[in-house]
Amino acid sequence: MFRSSKSSIRRTRRGALLAAATGLIAGVSILAPLGAYAATDDHGGAARNDGDKTAAVRESIVDGPAKNVILLIGDGMGDSEITVARNYAEGAAGAFAGIDALPLTGQYTTYALNEDGTPNYASESASTASGWSTGTKTNNGALSVDIAGTPQSTLLELAKANGLRTGNVSTAEIQDATPGAQVAHISDRGCYGPVKTTANCAAEALENGGLGSISEQLLTLRPDVVLGGGAATFTEKAVAGDWAGQTLFEQAVDRDYQLVGDAAGLAAVTTADQSAPVLGLFTPGNFPTRWIGPEATVGGADLAPASCTANPERLDTGLSLASLTDKAIDLLSANSEQGFFLQVEGASIDKRDHAADACGQIGETIDLDEAVQSALAFAKADGNTLVVVTADHAHTSQIVGSTPPGLSVALTTEEGSPMLVSYGTAEAGESQQHTGSQVRIAGYGPGAANVLGLTDQTDLFFTSSNALALNTNLRSLSAAATLTLDQAAVAPGAAFTATMAGLAADWRATSEISTAASTDPLGVADVIDGQAVITGTAPTVPGQYTVTLTGAQTGVSVSAALTVAAAGTTPAPTVAPTAAPAGAVPGTGPTSGVAAGVAAAVGGVLASTGAQIAPLAGIAALLMAAGGVLVVVRRRRHGLH
């Protein structure tokens, strides 16, 4: 009887469960409202694949070379930071239209090195930016030098030397680690200008024979387009060199930069090239963020979920990261015969993560996504552009399911659901730490297949340089340099002009005039489109002299003979090229005196072997000649039209 009763109870329960299950399938469960469960053919609606992707992936694999490369860097944008931002802005099943749209995706490792060469698993932005900029691991805090302090050629330098146009865009100070790694070689990422360089990077200060501060190296390198923050540093005065006593802003004007400081000024710029590069500095420091919101606190996840709001201090929309990216692309792509290299950084994902500011980092991730959309739109229309989106390192924010013991905040997502975000690597008021996790790298266009699988950050340098088919031997790019004098013979004390052409991999040139007995400096000039022009004064003593110009970066040196006629005679003027002394060939020649010193010390600073930095101090008293402009016909790369 008892057993029979239990069987009856089981049958009753099974019947009830079957009825409930039938009701669920029919969408009329008595346990849930109508429509609360997805239809059987929807499986909850979370699947992202729409059919088989094999053909689409196969179609997205395109061989190089590429004409252009655009690198977009989300500073501190680890997988967690992407997920936090996506959940908030697009929902759990949503997707970013830019960051998530690149078809080929991998992961890369981001470790740095200690000075003894052992791995440092918790890297920071200078060492990581140096990794993809140069292909060389370095120690934390250093920019584009190896662990021995030897400068390593950067992608931007190599692109310029190979005849491409170059751009550098950031929402941070333009001297900050990520943009700074493309333009400078220095032991301490904080040496933005002359003041800190004198105090903290003495060996690299101009007055001590170094390359100077990050800002001074930027001005010398002369990228075509530079847009970001960091104007405060440009009010500092140079301590040594040709512009000693002048502000960096004054120096930029003297070197023919187009300076802009607001959206209207940027909109008015129509061209950017080596004759008139654009330097847009829109804030004294970093850009204000897009969004603001509650600060993470101990127990913050227990509070009512909040929403992010617009930051009233945000810059004009014409200065959003997407707008700056569009403008840079427009300026760099204006000459269809030249390709370009452009780096774009969304900087404050990292900076707001350090501050445990979830809304700040989310808004900056959305800003970067919009910039990626701009880059992808150009690349798809152009058909010959590699776009890569990645991060320098991962960060500390985590999505959690309950209130942690550390800092946290509750946000209401796009779907109206609460999302708890935790910051557990520092106490309240302290800076949250980076993490050593691998990060996402994604690509579109020629060469993008090289981001697949697990790579290292340094591989991005080779992916980019190979896609652009860059010659990385910079000395060879200036080796065919030639020297022309406007007159082969001059009167004592007369003016003459020396023009050195073919200096593709040099940014400045030094000059001297010599006899067997003495050597005197003539001046220093910027290299514009591979050409340096020096106007000098002939000696007052008649005789045969040698004029020598030397590329300050590669050490390539070329000489030509100059006759100073005896008093009372009138030398025959000529505008024909002056032959080099017997035995001299293009790209070689004597390197005595000032030219020799600069070439020996500076020569090879950008060479692929990574030779030592050159002292540039000691030539502060040299005269700066007026820079001429020669438009050089660039080589047409294979397959590019």
Q: Pairing between strand 225-229 and 278-281?
A: parallel
The closest of 270, 75, 71 to 166, measured between CA atoms, is 71
Q: How far is CA 187 from CA 148, 154, 174, 248, 516, in A?
A: 10, 15, 17, 21, 40
At which residue do the structure tokens 């659901």 appear? 417
For residue 39, give Cα distances in angstroms to 25, 34, 46, 614: 8, 11, 13, 71
Residue 308 contacts residue 292 (beta carbons within 8 Å) = yes
Q: Which two tokens stand for residue 413?
A: 């997502």
Chain centre distance of CA 544: 48
User: Would you name the residues annotated as active-site residues?
Assistant: 125
Structure tokens at 369: 């996504």
3-state secondary structure of 118: coil
Nearest to 171 by CA among 22, 361, 13, 338: 361
Nearest Cα neighbor of 363 from 75, 88, 72 is 88
Distances 40 to 37, 320, 628 between C-alpha atoms, Å: 9, 44, 73
Residue type, 185: H
Q: Alpha-carbon distance 182 to 129, whole Å? A: 8
Using CA atoms, how far apart are residues 81 and 356, in angstroms rounded to an integer? 12
As a whole number of angstroms, the distance between CA 238 and CA 245 comes to: 5
Residue 238, both tokens: 């140079």
Closest CA relative to residue 86, chosen from 506, 305, 369, 316: 369
Q: Please count the helices (runs of H) and the strands (runs of E) in the chain.
A: 16, 26
Residues composing the chain: 641
Burial class (CB in 10 A: 0-12, 13-18, 19+), 328: buried
- Asked if 606 contacts 553 with a C-beta cutoff of 8 angstroms, the reply is yes
As a whole number of angstroms, the distance between CA 99 and CA 101 comes to 6
392: Cβ contacts below 8 Å, ≥ 6 apart: 73, 75, 76, 110, 123, 125, 128, 129, 132, 177, 178, 350, 439, 457
